[in-house]
A = this chain, B = another copy of it.
Amino acid sequence: MVAAKEYKVIGTRPIRHDGTDKVTGRAQYGADIHLTGMLFGRVKRSPHAHAIIKKIDASKALALPGVKAVITNADFPRPPEGVGVTDEGPPQPWRFQVQNFLAENKALYRGHAVAAVAATDVHIAEDALALIDVEYEVLPPVLDVREAMSDNAPILHDDLFTKDSAPLADAPAKASNIAAHTQIKRGDVEKGFAEADIVLEREFTTTMYHQGYIEPHNGTAYWGRDGHLTVWNSSQAPFVFRNTLSSVLQIPAQKVTVIPLEIGGGFGGKLYMYLEPLAALLSKQTGKPVKMTMTREEVFESTGPTSGTYVRVKVGAKNDGTLTAMEAYMAYEAGAFPGSPVGGGMNGIVAPYNTPNVLVDGYDVVLNKPKTAAYRAPGTPAGEFPGDAVINEIADMIGMDQIEIRLKNAVKEGDERPWGGNWGPIGVVECLEAMKNSPHYKSELQGENRGRSVALGYWGNAGLETSSSASVNADGSVNLVLGSVDIGGSRPALAMQLAETLGITAEEVWPRIVDTDSVGFNFFTAGSRTAFAGGWAAYELGMEIRKQMVARAARIWECKEDEVTYSDDGVIHGPKDSEGKDRQLTFKELSGQLNRTGGIIDVSVNINKSSVGPSFAGHIADVEVDRDTGKVQVTRYTATQDVGTAIHPSYVEGQIQGGVAQGIGMALTEEYHYGADGRMQNSTYLDYRMPTALDLPMIETILVEVPNPGHPYGVRGVGEVCIVPPLGAVQGAIAEAIGVRFTDLPIQPQDIIDALYDE
């Protein structure tokens, strides 16, 4: 670890505040909600990937004893005047959002929700689903992103027109599956390719990948007769959910309360709502609380994985490794409704390198699969992998070390970013140097069929709004009120930053995540923003508490406030007393005197900073390929990452290890298998194969600390960039091991066997 500023609490490894609850089962998740008089809801889903819904008849279901209500899309309030389909540009998200909650006229993917039922128990609700008659006119589905873009493809939305972002404006004025086309452009790629000694062009694909959280989606809603809706759920964005529910159900925001429970994994997938609006409407109809949870099959078939992608990349380089041009064409599956993370891939492929000439075209494409969702550094793993693959291939062609070629082209502070603006202090070179100097990279590979490669990843991170408050208890403990849910250790990370500021211990701070009524607006827990923005809030809360503590001490000592100092160890010093003795109070001592000096201290702040520090990560993978079975074993893995300041190193390491595991899954084992009818063939965790602890080596981590100057404690987001490099590193290592450069992920044993023997 590169040494950073000395802190007392930051950089230590206290037990997380929610740790014991989570390992002993006391933590309350969405499934732990039980309300008096509760009903249970289930969803009727389309068995077809593409079909017109001609009729829905719920009369038989409603006649089943115990069934209390059935809803369809028609039960959603219609959009207010001026919202919805317009003649110019794309339809508003409002309509698409509601159509994904419950299909309107067409079912657009297998598993698309068509109706929902509430009953007195879950078994009756399940039985009722079979009694809802839906008459379909089945249409041919389109399941591949390139086919969906072709002229003769089945069209999902009659009123969707390609939206070009400026400066492009030459889109055809006819309905299309292409929802948007965006571009990054710098210099002149044709000139760049002309200057190159080597020009390499390759095509790549990745499949859809699911985030693979353990806890299925859940939501319980209770719509009061005064119109106040309360929702309990496990999500990454209670305030955003509140606003969305307010919008689609047409209730004022202060009449919606979202109460977040613990979340059993999200990784971006729990930024999206599926059940809550249905539970809300069922509750409105029945006057009872309605609880809904998904099965695993529903999670796979009906929630958002990340995009399947097609990427064509062309890179020009001189013989000394200098990159002269990079051109990429990226087509990302959005699923049934617009909105893929193609932008993440577009930024990712160009970010790490000072390529003078750049042209990236990105396409957002709808097709008959579930609407994609965010998944850890959304869109970037699939977009950056092709860049790593091509650069590693060029390095091998010119006989240059794979780290050296990256060092030669690496971006540094002050360099221009391909999409505008300049880089601040970033740790690309520091990560590459840490890789070079690592025991792993210095070690020699032993044995046959073994290979080693590297990759370099980027993620921009996010700032956005965070509100938080804190109060000092009479015993010197401090309550910290948070509005962002904890998906990866944010409770300790934020409590530690407040403790550092106050000069007390992490254990003396009790972080509490509250509902949307109880603290100001907080944007989602995503974009690696929580430790950054929440930490900044904790710092400002701490500084305000220090200021008020100084005022209290001045009152006790009957001196001026500027005669009192608050030292970083949490001791408040005053002027010497009449006998010449030092006057001082510890934080705890002064806390005990707050009541008699005007009351306890209770402060709140709102933070909205854009000075996020981007993250870079460099990974090294060793693999061994079994030529008999095609199995690829990752034998050693080292992840370096510029983490800004590691607030709680164990959780930073844990984030990195988790991201690597998921990235390796994308490279080797995870895959949505679709039949030609658009039905997923492997919607269980037995068949959708995520790496387990037995499949992975111990992931070694090297924390590089280049503090973000845009944060009081130098924090950069750490949770996302770590999922980016594994795809390129593993694919590259397989190439080194057996000489086959695969272009389609995942690389399954059958692919290895096919490549080694059948071609």
A477 interfacial by beta-carbon distance below 8 Å: yes
> Does A244 belong to the interface (CB within 8 Å)?
no
A600 adjacent to B474 (CB under 8 Å): no
Binding stretch for chain B, among A222-230, A400-408, A648-656: A222-230
Pick from B512, B603, B605: contact of A517, CB under 8 Å: B512
Is A298 an interface residue, CB under 8 A from the partner? no
Query: At the interface, yes or no: A96 with Cβ under 8 Å from chain B?
Result: no
- A54 interface residue (CB < 8 Å to B): no
A464 to chain B, nearest CB (A): 9
Known contacts A34-B34, A254-B508; decide if A602 and B520 are in contact (CB<8 Å): yes
Q: Report B-chain residues with C-beta under 8 Å of the C-beta of A243.
A: 474
Partner of A601, one of B481, B509, B512, B520: B520
Specify which chain B residues have a CB less than 8 angstroms from the CB of A222 in the assembled complex: 26
A196 CB within 8 Å of chain B: no
Pair A228/B517 contact, Cβ less than 8 Å: no
Q: Assess whether A89 is interfacial by the CB under 8 Å rule.
A: no
Q: Which parts of A514-568 form the interface with B (CB within 8 Å)?
A: 514-521
> Is A253 a contact partner of B474 (Cβ separation < 8 A)?
yes
User: A602 touches which one: B254, B479, B512, B604 (CB < 8 A)?
Assistant: B604
In the bound complex, residues from chain B placing their C-beta under 8 Å from that of A598 are 606, 608
Task: Check A517/B510 contact, CB under 8 A, given A34-B35, A253-B474, A604-B469.
Answer: yes
Instruction: Decide: A603 near B604, CB < 8 A? Known: A287-B24, A510-B255.
Output: yes
CA distance A254 to B14 in the complex (A): 16
**Cross-chain contact A473 with B254 (CB below 8 angstroms):** yes
- Residues 204-242 of chain A, each 1 if its beta carbon lies under 8 Å from chain B, else 0: 000000000000000000101110100000000000000
Proximity string of chain A (32-51) to chain B, C-beta cutoff 8 Å, 1 when within and 0 when not: 10111100000000000000
Contact of A481 (CB < 8 Å), options: B32, B252, B518 = B518
Q: Is A252 in contact with B602, judged by CB distance below 8 angstroms?
A: no
A399: interface (CB < 8 Å): no
Q: Does A257 count as interface, using CB distance less than 8 angstroms?
A: yes
A481-B517 contact given A20-B226, A598-B608, A601-B606, CB 8 Å threshold:
yes
Smallest CB separation, A371 vs chain B (Å): 25
Is the pair B225, A24 in contact by a Cβ cutoff of 8 Å? yes
The answer, yes or no, to whether A595 is at the interface (CB within 8 Å) is yes
Q: How near does chain B come to A583, taking the closest CB pair, in angstroms?
A: 24
Q: For the complex, what is the distance from the CA of A467 to the CA of B474, rounded to whole Å?
A: 13
**Docked complex: A139-198 residues within 8 A CB-CB of B:** none
- Complex Cα spacing A251 to B756, Å: 65
| CB of A607 within 8 Å of the partner chain | yes
Q: Which residues of B contact A36 (CB under 8 A)?
A: 28, 32, 34
Tell me the smallest distance from the CB of A117 to a CB of chain B, in Å. Answer: 22
Contact assessment for A226 and B287 in the assembled complex, using a CB-CB cutoff below 8 Å? no
Write the chain B residue with the least CB distance to A465: B599
Question: How far apart are A490's CB and chain B's nearest CB, in angstroms?
Answer: 16
B519–A602 CB distance below 8 A:
yes
In angstroms, Cα B514 to Cα A469, docked, is: 13
Chain B residues with Cβ below 8 Å from A472 are 520
A469 partner residues in chain B, CB cutoff 8 A: 469, 519, 602, 604
Q: Is the CB of B471 within 8 A of A519?
A: yes
| Inter-subunit contact A465/B600 (CB<8 Å) | yes
Complex contact B224–A26 (CB within 8 A): yes
Cα distance A257–B338 when bound, in Å? 44
Please indicate the chain B residues that have their CB under 8 angstroms from the CB of A225 in the complex.
Answer: 20, 24, 26
Let me know if A93 is at the binding interface, CB within 8 A. Answer: no
**Binary per-residue interface labels of chain A (583-606) against chain B in the complex, 1 for a CB within 8 Å, 0 otherwise:** 000000000000100111111111
Q: Name the distance in Å between A192's Cβ and chain B's nearest Cβ.
A: 38
A26 proximity list for chain B (CB < 8 A) = 222, 224-225
Measured between alpha carbons, how far is A255 from B515 in the docked complex, in Å?
Answer: 20
A687: chain B residues at CB < 8 Å are none
Distance in angstroms between the alpha carbons of A478 and B602 in the assembled complex? 19
A77 contacts B by Cβ under 8 Å: no
Which residues of chain B come closer than 8 Å to A695, judged between CB atoms? none
Set of chain B residues within 8 Å of A479, measured between Cβ atoms: 254, 516-518, 520
Instruction: Give every chain B residue within 8 A of A604 (Cβ-Cβ).
Output: 469, 471, 602-604
Interface pair A467/B517, CB less than 8 Å apart: no
How far apart sit A79 and B26, CA to CA, in the bound complex (Å)?
29
The reply to whether the CB of A137 lies closer than 8 angstroms to some CB of chain B is no
Contacts of A521 in B (CB 8 A): 471, 473-474, 600, 602
* In-complex Cβ contact of A606 among B475, B478, B599 (8 A): B599
How far does the Cβ of A608 sit from chain B's closest Cβ, in whole Å? Answer: 3
A21 touches B (CB below 8 Å): yes
| Residue among B28, B519, B608 making CB contact with A599, cutoff 8 Å | B608
Name which residue of chain B comes closest to A544, CB basis: B604
- The docked-state distance in angstroms from the alpha carbon of A254 to that of B519 is 19
B602 near A467: Cβ-Cβ < 8 Å? yes
Tell me whether A84 is interfacial, beta carbon within 8 Å: no
Residue of B nearest to A606 (CB): B599
Q: Could you tell me which residues of chain A, from 376 to 414, have a CB within 8 Å of some CB in chain B?
A: none
A712 contacts the other chain (CB 8 A): no
Please tell me if A697 contacts chain B, counting CB pairs below 8 Å. no
Q: State which residues 495-514 of A face B: CB under 8 Å.
A: 508-510, 512, 514
Q: Which of B257, B475, B599 contacts A607 (CB 8 A)?
A: B599
Asked if A19 is at the interface of the complex by the 8 Å CB criterion, the answer is yes
Of the A-B pairs whose beta carbons lie under 8 Å apart in the complex, a sample of 5, sorted by A's number, is A20-B228, A24-B225, A512-B518, A595-B608, A599-B608
Q: Which 5 A-B pairs have the closest CB atoms?
A: A520-B602, A20-B226, A471-B520, A254-B477, A599-B608
Given contacts A246-B475, A254-B510, A467-B471, 11 further A-B contacts (CB under 8 A): A21-B224, A24-B287, A26-B224, A26-B225, A469-B602, A510-B517, A512-B515, A512-B517, A514-B518, A518-B519, A604-B604
